[in-house]
């Protein structure tokens, strides 16, 4: 697997039954970014939204209580941990599970906003994330059925994975991360409490980087 | 003109699920054409003989508990005790298996039902993540419900 251009050298592998998570130069770099963002989410203070009053030069900062952000902070950390799992796992089905976990924690971060407009976007996002589980798990099922294995270690360089499975995998991650469906995110970003909202963008970006690597390798 | 129309649809986030649903349908329909060309390799990993008469059906992998039951795994060297607990049933499950033909359907209905080694040991991380997804789902639902109570 580590002879592929994208991976780089093998740094560490954890023999955990049939699921063998690994750090290559590529995944270790992604994992390092995730750890930094988890720490930012855990210790950062939420930003205060500035509202500008029309017709004048006045502006005011919304007061955000610590208790309001407790849930979104917890979910942002959970989202970071799920992203960490997704970037280091060495198994396709395990990756799809972590992707779903990222999706559901993202919904939670958005749903913790009280704004009705944001909640409407979160609802739409929830439906997309729910539909996305079909192509996501469908791709894992097709990979297991056609190759007899789910391990990225075994699948690497074989070229045995059908195009349909790869397309479904990308489509599934698209739905969980909604990275290309930015119109949903444009609404979501109105939610108060960055950097927790930022975690949504960050996790979907990393999911995409990881799925690109998986699709190129298998 | 077409681009303007497409941008109009995409700019409304209430269309988000519809757009994504259409994308999924297109890929699945295109994929259906390629299905006949796919070969099935069901015998390579985690093979299982389905015995419809077993009370543990469809979870019966055979063998004796704490013996050397043969279980196929991707990396047997990572699971030195592979096959050791496959046939183990807790006393309650053992009693149920003797009393009913449908013990296999209760795998999640009582604690310590059937210990499917593939599920809980060889692919243990999957089971942990699945349960985490479930708990996060509960946490979100509980948070939203309690927030409504507080308002």
Predicted pLDDT of residue A35: 95
Q: What string of H, E and C letters represents the secondary structure of chain A?
A: CCCCCCCCCEEEECCECCECCEEEHHHHHHHHHHHHHHHHHHHCCCCCCEEECCCCCCEEECCCCHHHHHHHHHHHHHHHHHHHHHHHCCEHHHHHHHHHHHHHHHHHHHHCCCCHHHHHHHHHHHHHHHHHHHHHHHHHHHHHHHHCCCEHHHHCCCCCCCHHHHHHHHHHHHHHHCCCCHHHHHHHCCCCCCCHHHHHHHHHHHHHHHHHHHHHHC
What are the residue ranges spanned by the domains of chain B? Answer: 2-37, 41-151
Name chain A contacts of B27, Cβ cutoff 8 Å: 135, 164, 167-168, 171
CB-based contact A18 B123, cutoff 8 Å? yes
What are the residue ranges spanned by the domains of chain A? Answer: 10-217
Name chain B contacts of A184, Cβ cutoff 8 Å: 13, 16
- The ipTM assigned to this model is 0.86
CA A5 to chain B, closest CA, distance in angstroms equals 25
Chosen for mutation from A73, A183, A186 (greatest number of chain B CBs closer than 10 Å) is A183
Confidence band, pLDDT 50/70/90 cuts, at residue A56: confident
What does the alpha-carbon distance between residue A128 and residue A175 come to, in Å, rounded to a whole number? 6
Predicted pLDDT of residue A210: 93
- Which residue on chain B is closest to A164 by alpha carbon? B31
| Residue A61 bridge partners (DSSP) | A50
Mean of all residue pLDDT scores within chain A: 84
Predicted pLDDT of residue A199: 83
Whether the link from the prior residue into B91 is cis, omega within 30° of 0, is no
| Of A114, A147, A164, Cβ closest to residue B34 | A164
**Below-50 pLDDT ranges, chain B:** none
Is it the case that residue A47 has pLDDT exceeding 80?
A: no
CB-based contact A144 B43, cutoff 8 Å? no
| Of A18, A94, A100, Cβ closest to residue B133 | A100
């Amino acid at each position: 697997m580590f002879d592929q251009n994208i991976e780089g050298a093998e740094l560490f592998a954890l023999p955990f039954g049939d699921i063998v998570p690994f750090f290559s130069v590529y995944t270790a770099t992604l994992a390092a970014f995730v750890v930094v963002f988890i720490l930012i989410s855990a210790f950062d203070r939420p930003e205060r939204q500035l509202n500008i009053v029309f017709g004048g030069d006045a502006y005011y900062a919304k007061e955000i209580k610590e208790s309001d952000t407790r849930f979104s902070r917890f979910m942002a950390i959970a989202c970071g941990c799920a992203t960490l799992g997704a970037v280091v796992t060495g198994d396709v089905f395990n990756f799809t599970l972590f992707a779903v976990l990222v999706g559901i924690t993202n919904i939670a971060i958005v749903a913790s906003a009280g704004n009705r407009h944001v909640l409407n976007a979160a609802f739409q996002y929830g439906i997309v994330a729910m539909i996305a589980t079909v192509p996501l798990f469908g791709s894992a099922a097709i990979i297991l059925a056609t190759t007899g294995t789910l391990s990225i270690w075994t699948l690497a360089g074989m070229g045995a994975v059908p195009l349909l499975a790869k397309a479904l995998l990308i489509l599934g991650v698209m739905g969980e991360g909604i990275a290309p469906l930015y119109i949903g995110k444009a609404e979501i970003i109105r939610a108060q409490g960055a950097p927790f909202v930022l975690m949504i963008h960050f996790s979907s970006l990393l999911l995409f980087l990881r799925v690109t690597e998986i699709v190129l390798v298998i | 003109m077409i681009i303007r129309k497409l941008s109009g649809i995409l700019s409304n986030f209430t269309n988000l699920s519809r757009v994504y649903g259409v994308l999924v349908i297109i890929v699945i329909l295109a994929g259906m054409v390629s299905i006949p060309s796919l070969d099935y390799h069901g015998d390579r990993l985690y093979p299982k003989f389905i015995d419809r008469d077993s009370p543990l059906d469809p979870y019966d992998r055979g063998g004796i508990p704490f013996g050397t039951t043969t279980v196929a795994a991707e990396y047997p060297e990572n699971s030195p005790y592979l096959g050791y607990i496959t046939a183990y049933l807790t006393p309650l499950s053992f009693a149920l298996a003797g009393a009913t033909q449908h013990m296999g359907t209760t795998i999640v209905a009582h604690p310590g039902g059937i210990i499917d080694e593939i599920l809980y040991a060889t692919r243990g991380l999957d089971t942990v993540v699945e349960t985490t997804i479930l708990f996060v789902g509960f946490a979100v639902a509980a948070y939203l419900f309690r927030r409504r109570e507080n308002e």
